[in-house]
A and B are shown apart, each in its own frame.
Chain A
Amino acid sequence: MKNSFDNLLIDTKLRLLKMHHEANAGHIGGNFSSIDALMALHHLVMQADDRFVISKGHSAGALYATLWSLGQLSDEALSTFTLDDSVLPGHPSGGGIPGLLFSTGSLGHGPSLSAGLALAARHRRTSQRVFCLCSDGEWQEGSCWEALTFAVHQRLDNLAILIDQNGLQGFGRTRDVISCEDLGPRVAAFGAHVRNVDGHDPAAIAEALHSPGPGVPVVLILDTVKGKGLHFEDRLESHYLPLTSEQYLAARDTLMGKGNAS
């Protein structure tokens, strides 16, 4: 029998799907590879004063849907996603998004921003933790490694970086584009505390983030599938292409079927 979180997760995925379909927006794959982690983080891990940075700004839809699940964004607001005169653009920016601290979308910015937040929290001797969600392709940006080096040197153990390792990027598989499928060992070699988890298992994600790193930042490698649960699961098309009506209805049925399985 599913608990209330499981049911809320399904409802949120359905809302995310509807939002993308109505807006005819792409980047669905990266949203469905990260929605489980976003929901786990916001519902099961983060405390009121914790900070979140969505470095993979192309998963804005999943963030908006998660905020909707928390009651922080309305249905009406979600219905404006990527439309004219909206406060919910395809990559998050501006003052209309609760809890949003930075404009992201250009990859490789979040880890440094998060390190700054974590440094501020330590300076003020608060118990605040800072969570940052990255994509795996994003770690081809040198700035991510600058930030990691800095965060490890500064021993920012109040920082947790989640990497959505779905193995697909804009124009190919990460292993084919630039051989960066082994992020865990690389990050560990930089001195971070690495944990690996099934990125579609909210309970496991919450457990993995329960404790901060041992004197250094935690990097949580989320083993995920791009477009998880959709017709173009683990296919490159899921990075850019919006859903046709037929695809939307089929995906909705699949998600609802899982819901009915309880």
Chain B
Amino acid sequence: MRKAFAAAVLENHNTDDCFFLTGDLGFMALEEVQQAFGSRFVNAGVAEQNMVGVAAGLARENLRVIVYSIAPFCYARPFEQIRNDICLGALPVCLVGNGGGYAYGHMGPTHHALEDCSAMGALGVRVIVPAFDDDLRTLMGRFTQPTYLRLGYDARPSGTVAPAYSAWRQILPGRRGALAALGPLAGVAWQALQDVPEEQRPAVWAVCEFDEAAIPDAFHQQVANGPLYVIEEHVAHGGLGMHLSFSIAKRGIGCQAFVHRPALGYPTGRFGSQGFHRAQCGLDVASVRQMIAAPA
């Protein structure tokens, strides 16, 4: 999504009141942004705490600021700066973490971000996990509050067209409950279930934001009449599954079965690609297909 993100930044934010800060990342992705922004593009170096503090200073002067790094360096290292400098002041800084989940697979666990959405959400940051490249154009409009944008890889089947961005989108109809997939895993579920007959599969939803108010009534109706599957490349704690179960419990909706596939960390102590880790967590195409085929 880096290319789509860069294009969206150029289209929506290349104005005199917008700064772009990067923590020395963006090679072969942000060069056009760098060139277009000029002095408003600041490589803040390998110093994420300072970068976020500087962003807060700029934002306090009513400048718009996009802060970019890879996901773990974006939210974890400067956590206190995000909490104190940005969130306590409700400053509309957009934090962009590239490669959420296991996306930086073979680079190892220090480069993975498995709890970022939970951590940022706990601070009141608006967390957005785009599912498809095309989402970026819509999402990169004006930010009015602290925002965390978790970028991944668009995994939808080739030749398909994603519906226009919404926090919740049904991308496949189904008659056997519902499956909620966080961000790019919607593309994985799309691949896994597109050839499964509707009566044998759940409706597949791409979920990009945790906002409880955005959950459609249709989803609740599906859950009331069938199993709920949740897949997310994020730890269970504070993730989509917990948010949904909380919401369903508050509404008093019955749920026939709840099947949750979160990121499990490193259960075997071995490391590999994003595909390797997804398979270990049951989040790859084959595992999702098997999950739906099995009795819930």
A and B are partners in one complex rather than unrelated chains: yes
Q: Which residues of A contact B (CB under 8 A)?
A: 93, 101-106, 108-109, 111-121, 123-124, 142-143, 146-147, 149-150, 153-154
Provide the residues of chain A in CB contact with B49, threshold 8 Å: 108, 112, 142-143, 146
With contacts defined as CB atoms under 8 Å apart, how many contacts are there between chain A and chain B in the complex? 97
Provide the residues of chain A in CB contact with B84, threshold 8 Å: 102-106, 109
Provide the residues of chain B in CB contact with A153, threshold 8 Å: 45
Given contacts A103-B84, A103-B88, A106-B80, A143 and B63 within 8 Å (CB-CB):
no
Cβ-closest chain A residue relative to B47:
A146
**CB pair A116 B57 closer than 8 Å:** yes
**CB pair B50 A150 closer than 8 Å:** yes
**CB pair B81 A120 closer than 8 Å:** no
Cβ-closest chain A residue relative to B62:
A120
A119 to B60: give the CA distance in the assembly, Å: 11
A133 CB to closest chain B CB (Å) equals 15
A120 to B80: give the CA distance in the assembly, Å: 22
B289 CB to closest chain A CB (Å) equals 47
Q: Is B39's beta carbon under 8 Å from chain A?
A: yes
**CB pair B63 A120 closer than 8 Å:** yes
Q: Is B216's beta carbon under 8 Å from chain A?
A: no
A146 to B81: give the CA distance in the assembly, Å: 13
A139 CB to closest chain B CB (Å) equals 14
Q: Is B89's beta carbon under 8 Å from chain A?
A: yes
Residue among A108, A111, A116, A119 with most chain B CB within 10 A:
A116
B47 CB to closest chain A CB (Å) equals 4
**CB pair A150 B44 closer than 8 Å:** yes
Given contacts A106-B84, A115-B53, A116-B53, 10 further A-B contacts (CB under 8 A): A102-B89, A109-B81, A109-B85, A111-B50, A112-B81, A116-B55, A116-B57, A117-B58, A119-B19, A123-B63
**A113 partner, pick from B39, B45, B57, beta carbons under 8 A:** B57
**CB pair B47 A120 closer than 8 Å:** no
**CB pair B56 A116 closer than 8 Å:** yes
Q: Is B176's beta carbon under 8 Å from chain A?
A: no
Which 3 residue pairs are nearest across A and B when measured between Cβ atoms? A116-B57, A112-B53, A146-B50
**CB pair A147 B50 closer than 8 Å:** yes
- Range class of the B interface residue count: 20 to 34
A138 to B194: give the CA distance in the assembly, Å: 57
**CB pair B39 A123 closer than 8 Å:** yes
B241-265, CB under 8 A of A: which get 1 and which 0?
0000000000000000000000000
Q: Is B237's beta carbon under 8 Å from chain A?
A: no
**CB pair B85 A150 closer than 8 Å:** no
A93 to B85: give the CA distance in the assembly, Å: 11
Pairs across A and B, CB under 8 Å, 27 listed: A101-B60, A103-B84, A103-B89, A105-B84, A106-B80, A109-B80, A109-B84, A109-B85, A111-B53, A112-B50, A116-B60, A118-B57, A120-B63, A123-B39, A123-B40, A143-B49, A143-B50, A143-B81, A147-B53, A149-B45, A149-B47, A149-B50, A150-B45, A150-B47, A150-B50, A150-B54, A153-B45
Q: Which residues of B contact A (CB under 8 A)?
A: 19, 39-40, 42, 44-45, 47, 49-61, 63, 80-81, 84-85, 88-89
Provide the residues of chain B in CB contact with A143, threshold 8 Å: 49-50, 53, 81
Cβ-closest chain A residue relative to B88:
A103
Provide the residues of chain B in CB contact with A111, threshold 8 Å: 50, 53
Provide the residues of chain B in CB contact with A116, threshold 8 Å: 53-61
Residue among A106, A108, A120 with most chain B CB within 10 A:
A120
Provide the residues of chain A in CB contact with B58, threshold 8 Å: 116-117, 119-120
B271 CB to closest chain A CB (Å) equals 29
A132 to B19: give the CA distance in the assembly, Å: 22
Cβ-closest chain A residue relative to B48:
A146
**CB pair A109 B53 closer than 8 Å:** yes
Provide the residues of chain B in CB contact with A106, threshold 8 Å: 80, 84
**CB pair B50 A119 closer than 8 Å:** no
Cβ-closest chain B residue relative to A53:
B57
